[in-house]
Amino acid sequence: MTMRQDTDTVRALQGLEDSRPSVRLRAALAVGTAPDPRCIDKLIERCAVEPEFSVREMLTWALTRHPASMTVPELLGEVRSERAQARSQALHTLSKIGNRQAWPAITRALLSDADDEVARSAWRAAVVLVPDGEKPGLAAVLSTQLGRGGRETQLSLSRALIALGEVISPALHTAMTDPDPRVRAHANATERLLRDPEAGFEFAIEEAKRVVALGGTGQEG
């Protein structure tokens, strides 16, 4: 490590703490452009508190530029953090790294986290990291979240389920008979999108609500 590299690293680490988002963004870009293992802890620490979305995305990118053998263990610690943003951003970063050794950390508790952003990040990470043989089990757990939250949360869940493919069909068909009309409508909309990805979520959810209001399940038979 040269003196120049040492100076650049110190400057980047200081930049990550700057009050100006543009400076923090450039600092994260610099770390990712010239990866330095000494920056990993600071990048992860900053992910937990960074208020700007664009900077968080750059922090994640910088982490993906470092060896997974060094970043993944640290990120696995973060998914157990009491701070929701730390959990969410660590899960997001793990999904971008794509190292399946992280799969056991995607617990049922994370997939049903009370914080919508954490849950959404967990859903996205899960469908990236899940081994093929565990997809039906994951589909069953994800289906317990049908009907949850607003449009963005429901769309995230539908996308995650659809990414698993046809293995989700049994769980969806079970959810279509749920006592909760929100669960039934969401399951119907997701099933429609699985069959017709071009339908669009808004159309699918409105169509599903009509089906549920009429007392049907939306299943063809």
Encode pLDDT of 157-206 as tens digits: 999 999 999 999 999 999 999 999 999 999 999 998 898 877 776 766 77
- Using CB atoms within 10 Å of the CB of residue 41, give its burial: 0 to 12 exposed, 13 to 18 middle, 19+ buried: exposed
CB atoms < 10 A from the CB of 108, how many? 12
Cα 91 to Cα 123: distance, rounded to the nearest angstrom: 9
Encode pLDDT of 121-150 as tens digits: 999 999 999 999 999 999 999 999 999 999
Encode pLDDT of 27-85 as tens digits: 999 999 999 999 999 999 999 999 999 999 999 999 999 999 999 999 999 999 999 99
Cα 153 to Cα 82: distance, rounded to the nearest angstrom: 21
Q: Where are the domains of the chain?
A: 135-215
User: Are the C-beta atoms of residues 58 and 29 closer than 8 Å to each other?
Assistant: yes
pTM: 0.87
Which residues 6+ apart lie within 8 Å of 50 measured at CB? 24, 56, 59, 89
Tokens of 35: 């990866």
How many residues can be counted in the chain?
Answer: 221
Residue 200, pLDDT score: 73
**Beta-strand runs (E) in 19-128:** none
Cα 142 to Cα 172: distance, rounded to the nearest angstrom: 10
